[in-house]
Chain A
């Protein structure tokens, strides 16, 4: 089951760091509250990072070439595949939010802030999926795509406020976190916890994530063209 991993993170870390939340910087929230949006974002990265592996299987078996000799529009393959990942991200996010509620998380920011979190997760997920697709189309090696997923996701999460508020981190990590797209999504998530949602933060982070998704989407399109030229 694909949600086993985030569940373990949520329950295990929720227990392990229970008392960390008494440190200043958590704003008095319980650690489960604090952790839930971060785990949602991390789960999005991990699952969307698999996207490229499907391209590799399709390239190896000639499925991609079969699509390419059909008269259907080229762009529909890329878009259709990304749509699949977007829908999956939405479903998984809703389930994770439900589970977080069950284990005691409270999202005082309300339904709209949760929708913003899901939108942020979708944009971050699309970025990750496009990156994974680009890698797959260029390098055509299953191992590389999986390794990139693992090697990228955990450091990016630790260099963000996924597990701890940045105010508790060394200064250089705070600087890195500011430019870390994972942190942008987690920052939107933080806003769901408090009744006083800072919509400025939410909208700006959504904007940056949208720009990133567009950039990496463009990279994936270029890689798709490179594949077509190499056949």
Chain B
């Protein structure tokens, strides 16, 4: 179960409903693909909330359900206080949605895309024109507004995608992997714009990401989602502070006996916590990392385990993920995104143009 252990940093008046409330969402595709297995979380108003998880975790499915595109098999959800299942058309009016697939019509120009979007939301001529110009300027697309979108770079397309989600001034904005596949400059552009939306315009934002650093530095709160379940939820700092002490990672020589190493370290039981093995690497937590290293090395040496590298680090979100799922984020990503099953230049599963897995 999720514990709301901390005090909510953003004061919400009791009467104002949360921006998003998801309760026990379940979804199975076909006969056996269990995409969501009971997803629950709450997004306070005016915050940037991140759903962090490896590919296939169920992020897009969650977004599709919350934006009324798809229906859950079980569970309930509300957005801006409106029940998603009972009043989908009311929800559609207050949300903006930028799907993972962006949704830009490449044959039309940026201006045409935006104008049609305004019409879809029932906006009128002059109002739409003013809003379109405003958004084009805001996303620095004014100069290219009348070119076909197929001539745009990846970063420009993503900005146009976000602009499309904003035409009707939504109160809650959903962004499915808004920065995946972007170069660092375009990424920080998109970040800056999203932050401005939340801080200046008071838009509540839910975004999904499979970048740990993005979740760590950019969101106010996050939920880590894995295999269709939310494994933990909170502010990045809070989640990390729950892990007492430092992370220590010991990579052993391939031939060394892992079991011997593990057994040797279990003698440090009082000091080492959360001991786990992944491949030929031992992960553990320890209170004063640097001072524990000599002890650890001595014990492993005594057990005949040959150490290749030792790393000590302050707690990171990767460690949070490891604690809750028993594997590192990188390993989860590798297992879900296999170059043999996705050999294309653009990875089918993660959509990145340079999938490194």
Inter-subunit contact A70/B101 (CB<8 Å): no
- The interface bits of chain A over 90-125 (1 if a CB of B lies within 8 angstroms of the residue's CB, else 0) are 000000000000000000000000000000000000
Q: Which of B54-77 contact A (CB under 8 A)?
A: 64, 67-71
Partner of B121, one of A58, A63, A70, A231: A70
Inter-subunit contact B93/A66 (CB<8 Å): no
Q: Is A68 an interface residue (CB 8 A)?
A: yes
- The interface bits of chain A over 55-72 (1 if a CB of B lies within 8 angstroms of the residue's CB, else 0) are 000101111011111111
Residues of A within 8 A of B69 (CB): 65, 68-69, 231
Inter-subunit contact A62/B101 (CB<8 Å): yes
Inter-subunit contact A63/B104 (CB<8 Å): yes
Q: Which of B96-116 contact A (CB under 8 A)?
A: 97, 99-106
Q: Is B208 an interface residue (CB 8 A)?
A: no
Alpha-carbon separation in the docked complex, A10 to B204 (Å): 61
Alpha-carbon separation in the docked complex, A72 to B68 (Å): 13
CB of A224 to closest CB in B, whole Å = 14
Residues of A within 8 A of B106 (CB): 61
- Given A61-B101, A62-B102, A63-B103, also A69-B67 (CB < 8 A): yes
Alpha-carbon separation in the docked complex, A65 to B29 (Å): 17
Residues of B within 8 A of A69 (CB): 67-69, 92, 95, 97
Q: Which of B207-262 contact A (CB under 8 A)?
A: none
Residues of B within 8 A of A231 (CB): 64, 69-70
Inter-subunit contact B103/A72 (CB<8 Å): no
Inter-subunit contact A71/B92 (CB<8 Å): yes
CB of A88 to closest CB in B, whole Å = 16
Alpha-carbon separation in the docked complex, A65 to B120 (Å): 13
Inter-subunit contact A65/B101 (CB<8 Å): yes
Q: Which of B108-139 contact A (CB under 8 A)?
A: 117, 119-122
Q: Is B311 an interface residue (CB 8 A)?
A: no
Inter-subunit contact A61/B122 (CB<8 Å): no
CB of A62 to closest CB in B, whole Å = 3
Alpha-carbon separation in the docked complex, A71 to B168 (Å): 11
CB of B126 to closest CB in A, whole Å = 20
Inter-subunit contact B100/A62 (CB<8 Å): yes
CB of A168 to closest CB in B, whole Å = 45
Partner of A67, one of B68, B89, B104, B120: B120
Residues of A within 8 A of B71 (CB): 229
- Given A61-B104, A65-B69, also A70-B99 (CB < 8 A): no
CB of A225 to closest CB in B, whole Å = 12
Alpha-carbon separation in the docked complex, A72 to B117 (Å): 10
**B97 nearest CB neighbor, chain A only:** A69
Partner of A66, one of B29, B95, B164: B164
- Given A65-B99, A231-B64, also A70-B92 (CB < 8 A): yes
Inter-subunit contact A72/B120 (CB<8 Å): yes
Alpha-carbon separation in the docked complex, A121 to B97 (Å): 40
- The interface bits of chain A over 69-94 (1 if a CB of B lies within 8 angstroms of the residue's CB, else 0) are 11110000000000000000000000
Inter-subunit contact A70/B120 (CB<8 Å): yes
Inter-subunit contact B99/A62 (CB<8 Å): yes
**A67 nearest CB neighbor, chain B only:** B120
Alpha-carbon separation in the docked complex, A61 to B104 (Å): 7
Alpha-carbon separation in the docked complex, A190 to B288 (Å): 93
Alpha-carbon separation in the docked complex, A96 to B77 (Å): 55
Alpha-carbon separation in the docked complex, A60 to B100 (Å): 11
Q: Which of A182-231 contact B (CB under 8 A)?
A: 229-231
- Given A61-B106, A66-B164, A231-B70, also A71-B121 (CB < 8 A): yes
**A68 nearest CB neighbor, chain B only:** B69
Residues of A within 8 A of B119 (CB): 72
Residues of A within 8 A of B67 (CB): 69
Residues of B within 8 A of A62 (CB): 99-103
Inter-subunit contact A66/B97 (CB<8 Å): yes
Partner of B103, one of A66, A71, A229, A230: A66
CB of B291 to closest CB in A, whole Å = 52
**B104 nearest CB neighbor, chain A only:** A61
Residues of B within 8 A of A230 (CB): 29
Instruction: Give me 6 other A-B pairs in contact (C-beta within 8 A), A62-B99, A65-B101, A66-B99 excluded.
Output: A61-B105, A65-B103, A69-B67, A69-B69, A71-B89, A71-B92
Task: Give the top 5 A-B pairs by smallest Cβ distance, nearest first.
Answer: A62-B101, A66-B103, A62-B103, A70-B120, A71-B92
